[in-house]
A and B are shown apart, each in its own frame.
Chain A
């Protein structure tokens, strides 16, 4: 069975702000402290930062090989207007292009944008598409904007013209960011106004499942992502959750993803992917055709034809473009 991971990040402090890691560590510290086992928050943040040194994605490719993941989508969110980032978006785009050249046929890239960057932001988005042939747009509404903000419509027009998908984070995130714009219903106006653009709601198969489920069922261009399934604090029994999700009748709209490097220390990709593909629970009662949709075909359906691996090129070998 071909497996594509529709939601990964390069585990690198070049791309993930220290503030984001500190926010994650803060929540971990709160939980550990309630058990009387809370270490120093700064030490926790240092620990997370130390796990983000895979700057060229060599470690991720090794994980993918061990797990049997042929290709993955790399997300490059634009946190720059809310957090201090070590690099500007243009440089992050260039480095992701180099990563893709280093690992041909292994990665798609969804490049980030923020509508408040004005015309120059839009021009930079188009430049990165022209220069590097990226495969989608990544939005992070918790940075402080709605995904249906009219300032994003020029971006959606670009995506419509180029047949690119838009990946939108939904649900909770770093505690210093805004949760209200991350509700899945915020996508509704944009999804209605741009019926030819496919919108993938990040994590929506894990949080706000009822709302996201009806959006996926009734908006033809809305899809659900399950990134983070193995490390979401509110889903301690995630195999049972995924099995329930996969029985809702929207398997034609759900895209498999892990949100790597989440859960990196616990077991890496291999164990969580194996639990999904070969375990006794996740796919219980889920037919083979639906499994193919979930594990790779739905992702291919939202990608532009130019992004899809060439026929006969093998599951892991594509245009890289």
Chain B
């Protein structure tokens, strides 16, 4: 994954904020549980993963991804980095 991780985290945080139109009660950080807090539903999560793939030029391995315990931006990026 060639893209700077911090920059990528910021881009994904912006994507989540934009999705919620800045109106979400929860503060969005790279460690925020996106599904548990209701920030993203299943459709939006698929969209976020696709955006991550596009921005980082990586392929997300759904087969080995474990969403239990929450889905975070840092966790998604870390999963791609292996």
Contact = CB atoms under 8 A, between A and B. Distances in A.
Task: Please indicate which of the listed interface residues B18, B19, B47 has the most CB atoms of chain A within 10 Å of its own CB.
Answer: B47
Interface in A34-87: 35-40, 43-44, 47-48, 50-51, 53, 66
Given A37-B47, A37-B51, A270-B68, A236 B41 contact: yes
Contact of B49 (A36, A47, A268, A271): A47
Contacts, number: 80
Main secondary structure of the interface of B (DSSP, over half): helix
B50 A47 contact: yes
B61 A50 contact: yes
A265 B51 contact: no
A43 B55 CA distance: 13
Interface residues of B, number: 26
A277 interface: no
B42 A39 contact: no
B32 interface: no
Interface of A: 28, 31-32, 35-40, 43-44, 47-48, 50-51, 53, 66, 230-231, 233, 236, 262-268, 270-271
18 contacts: A28-B43, A28-B47, A32-B44, A37-B51, A38-B47, A40-B50, A43-B54, A44-B47, A44-B50, A47-B50, A66-B68, A231-B43, A264-B42, A265-B42, A265-B45, A265-B67, A267-B68, A267-B71
Interface of B: 15, 18-19, 35-36, 40-47, 49-51, 53-54, 60-63, 65, 67-68, 71
